[in-house]
A = this chain, B = another copy of it.
Amino acid sequence: MTSLVRSVSESTVRRLSLYLRTLERLQAEGAETVASGDLADRAGTTAAQVRKDLSSFGSFGTRGLGYRVGPLHARIREILGLTRPWRVVLVGAGRIGSALFAYPHFRERGFRIEAILDSDPAKIGGVWEGVTIQSAAHLEQVLARAEAEILILAVPAGAAQELAERAAAAGVRGILNFAPVRLRLPDEVEVNNVNLAVELEALSHALVLAEVQG
């Protein structure tokens, strides 16, 4: 392979994101190196899993010592595509939308929310930290002006499909979708769904199961 980024499995990618955050903590603590077992404990997995994950993109730990925190952090940032900023547009200036917008961590990681859209006349024209909420009717123009690559969809389920289609047609490459619907879009658009109902229901299932069994 010639590229810095190799294909790794979906579950590995999600763990890499956890390792990244763990490495940031280690850096803050002043650690120079970290062993797979330590990283695993902190991230909630196993040493073997950590090593497999890291070896999947040709890693460079040192036997007897572990991984050097700084270089490993840099390498994972590369793999995850975090070495450059992403231009993001947020659609839906509601409760979830405002929480995401105000969350500083995303901006720090390079996800820049360039524009906010909503359909509610009461919200349009409002200003959040210097960003004016615009009408969703202008979705295409806003996406084009911002050269947006990622769309965050935080609108009611009924509005999601249409907005997603328009965004896809306007050239958006990835969508983080909070609406509890399956979006039907061309294959070249990456969609990642966040469904909080699923999370709560998985928890409730686990509790019921625990009642019945051991």
| A residues apposed to B, CB below 8 Å | 3, 5, 7, 10, 13-14, 16-18, 20-21, 42-44, 79-82, 86, 95-96, 98-100, 102-103, 105-106, 109, 111, 149-150, 173-176, 180, 182, 188, 190, 192, 194-210, 212-213
Q: Give the CA-CA distance A196 to B21 in the complex, in Å.
A: 12
8 A–B contacts from the bound complex (CB under 8 Å): A16-B201, A18-B182, A18-B195, A44-B182, A95-B102, A106-B200, A174-B204, A192-B206
Asked if B81 and A14 make an inter-chain contact with CB atoms under 8 angstroms apart, the answer reads no
Asked if A190 and B203 make an inter-chain contact with CB atoms under 8 angstroms apart, the answer reads yes
Asked if B205 and A80 make an inter-chain contact with CB atoms under 8 angstroms apart, the answer reads yes
Asked if B17 and A202 make an inter-chain contact with CB atoms under 8 angstroms apart, the answer reads yes
Q: Which of B3, B176, B198, B212 contacts A203 (CB 8 A)?
A: B176
Q: Would you give the shortest CB distance from A150 to chain B, in whole angstroms?
A: 7
Q: Give the CA-CA distance A47 to B182 in the complex, in Å.
A: 16
Interface SS majority for chain A = helix
Closest to A45 in B: B182
Contacts of A197 in B (CB 8 A): 17, 21, 105-106, 109
Closest to A88 in B: B200
Q: Would you give the shortest CB distance from A49 to chain B, in whole angstroms?
A: 14
Q: Which of B109, B149, B180 contacts A201 (CB 8 A)?
A: B109
Q: Would you give the shortest CB distance from A152 to chain B, in whole angstroms?
A: 8
Q: Would you give the shortest CB distance from A155 to chain B, in whole angstroms?
A: 14
Asked if B80 and A213 make an inter-chain contact with CB atoms under 8 angstroms apart, the answer reads no
Q: Give the CA-CA distance A35 to B88 in the complex, in Å.
A: 39
Assess A202 versus B21: contact at CB under 8 Å? Given A43-B182, A190-B210, A210-B173.
no
Q: Would you give the shortest CB distance from A61 to chain B, in whole angstroms?
A: 21
Closest to A100 in B: B196
Asked if A80 and B174 make an inter-chain contact with CB atoms under 8 angstroms apart, the answer reads no
Asked if A81 and B208 make an inter-chain contact with CB atoms under 8 angstroms apart, the answer reads yes
